[in-house]
Amino acid sequence: MESDSSIEKRSVNDDVNTKPHLNTSDVDVAAELTPGKDFVLDPEEAARVRRKIDWHLMPLMCILYMMQFADKTTLGQSAVLGLLTGNRARLDQAQFNWLGTIFYLFFLGFEWPQNLALQYFPVGKWMSINILIWAIALLCHAAARNFGEFFACRAFLGICEGAITPGFMIVTSMFYTRQEQTQRVGLWFLMNGAAIILLGLIAFGTLHIHSGVLEAWQWLMIITGIITFIVAILFWFFFPDSPANAWFLTPEERVIAVERIKVNQAGVENKHFKVEQFIECLKDPKTWLFFFFSAISNVTNSLSNQRQIIVAGFGFTPGQTTLLGCVDGAVEIIVIFCTVTSATYWKNGRAYSAILAYCVAILGSILVNALPSSDRVGLLFSYWISVTSIAPFVVMLAWVGSTTAGHTKRLTTNAIVMIGYAVGNAAGPQYWEKKYQPRNHIPWMILSICWAVSALILLATRVYLSWENKRRDKEGHDSQYDEVYVTEKRADGTVVEKPVDKAFLDLTDIQNRDYRYVL
């Protein structure tokens, strides 16, 4: 039965004819799924639905995140597979560095349009389209003959990746409570480590393909491109757009899914762009704290593209370097798991867990600079210690989603954070100059400084959010949105009023004064 709906905000003193009205576009999609239901959430049923969500979402998210990291680091892996060396080398070191920057410049340029697309289009379908284009661009790398052709391929990779991490952040906040989000973000992000292992094994295998037509690095591009193409197809058919229409949940389970995340006070999604939320996001201090953290911390992310060159510079052969790269992945998995677990179970310890990881990374970078060149094993282990620097960014991604409410504001915040990510990553490759090899003392010094500054920004963010929570505690309860109704006019002319919970009004974290920031 078709119906027209409007939202009306009611206080006890409102006159029936003077009540302000809101359009249905102002509320969250969950408001139409749950209003008026006399519903008590059973903990056992909620846990069962969460497990069902985990089994249907996490495998696809993990596989995709593994492949997106593998795909963009195939260039770095190719550096020791003949791309930069030998008679058939296609690039020099300066061009190689610029390809790393080009990727993130196009990521930067298209990040805001990508986030607008995530606002207006179904999230799962939009990501699937981007993955498909991305797979084709990766396959085209194998046919590239010069810098200009590699430039075009990397540009498309950068454009398409702009939809993935923001899309994952949105999906994670749609389906999981704030307490659960850090672990889930950590789970799909640690697949970067799995990607390094997978890429190392595939790369080692390509060294044993004897072909007069294709180089080892070209086989690497083709194999990873085909896998990514298959993932794109799987995403189109099996990845949901939101809990409100998840194909694997029954109508009753969808209600449970949205009731589960009511504690977030952030809703599920709203497909209408709200200018006021956009402006609020730009004025919110924590938006810019997250931005500067994202930018500065990711200046060091160029380490992932340079890692093969770094390890080779310690004195290892191409074959040894390729296999040792698998250990990088194992280390990354371990440090991300330990850091996000600590951030989850250490009460109000998100910033502290991330800062601890930075302290370990700084120790590793100091050792890389201080140990003699003859101690290649010591240098290798010191480099592995520095890999802990990847974990704080994972904690921050989850923290952004769990401290921001209002769908337009959340998407805008995600876009700003990922713009910072692109700025940092675009700048990062430029300090790995040929003249600093093989020890790279200046680059490692830059890494240490960036990690220290990033740790201080996280501490400042925690202090600000803690201060804001205390300020709200003094304000008392905010009753402004306690009684809000959906008024439905049915096709037969009858009018039905149903109450809407504050959590599903698509309020921002600043509008909702009962919202408290997780620390």
Task: Scan for tokens 């830059």, then name that residue.
Answer: 446
Note whether 282 and 418 are same-domain residues. Answer: yes
Out of 264, 295, 316, a domain closes at: 264
Note whether 113 and 162 are same-domain residues. Answer: yes
Give the mean model confidence (pLDDT) for residues 356-382: 91
Task: Scan for tokens 């190392």, then name that residue.
Answer: 200
Q: Does residue 353 contact residue 395 with C-beta atoms inside 8 Å?
A: yes
pLDDT (tens digit per residue) in 400-454:
888 888 888 988 998 899 899 888 888 887 777 778 887 888 889 999 999 999 9
**Residue 35, domain member (yes or no):** no
**Residue 30, domain member (yes or no):** no
Note whether 242 and 139 are same-domain residues. Answer: yes
Q: Does residue 176 contact residue 185 with C-beta atoms inside 8 Å?
A: no
Out of 264, 288, 321, a domain closes at: 264
Note whether 237 and 340 are same-domain residues. Answer: no
SS3 485: strand
pLDDT (tens digit per residue) in 81-95:
777 766 667 777 788
The pair of three-digit structure tokens given for residue 317, joined into one six-digit string = 């052969």
Note whether 164 and 200 are same-domain residues. Answer: yes
pLDDT of 197: 84
**Residue 169, domain member (yes or no):** yes
Note whether 166 and 224 are same-domain residues. Answer: yes
Domain that holds residue 466: 276-472+498-518
Note whether 217 and 195 are same-domain residues. Answer: yes
Least confident of 4-13, 216-225, 262-271: 4-13
At 465, which CATH number? 1.20.1250.20
| DSSP symbol at 8 | E
**CA triple 438-442-443, angle to 5 deg:** 80
Question: Which amino acid makes up residue 210?
Answer: H
Least confident of 21-30, 163-172, 271-280: 21-30
Cα separation, 266 vs 514, in Å, equals 11
Note whether 289 and 197 are same-domain residues. Answer: no
Higher-scoring residue by pLDDT: 124, 309: 124
pLDDT (tens digit per residue) in 266-298:
555 566 788 888 999 999 999 999 999 999 999
pTM for this model (two decimals): 0.76
Note whether 260 and 281 are same-domain residues. Answer: no
pLDDT of 502: 63
Q: Is residue 229's pLDDT more than 90?
A: yes
Note whether 253 and 308 are same-domain residues. Answer: no
- What is the domain count for the chain? 2
**Residue 21, domain member (yes or no):** no
Q: Is residue 346's pLDDT more than 50?
A: yes
Note whether 332 and 242 are same-domain residues. Answer: no
3-state SS track over 348-406: CCHHHHHHHHHHHHHHHHHHHHHCCCCCHHHHHHHHHHHHHHHHHHHHHHHHHHHCCCC
Higher-scoring residue by pLDDT: 517, 491: 517
Note whether 216 and 306 are same-domain residues. Answer: no
pLDDT (tens digit per residue) in 314-329:
888 877 887 787 888 8
**Residue 34, domain member (yes or no):** no
* DSSP codes, 214-240: S-HHHHHHHHHHHHHHHHHHHHHHH--
SS3 488: strand
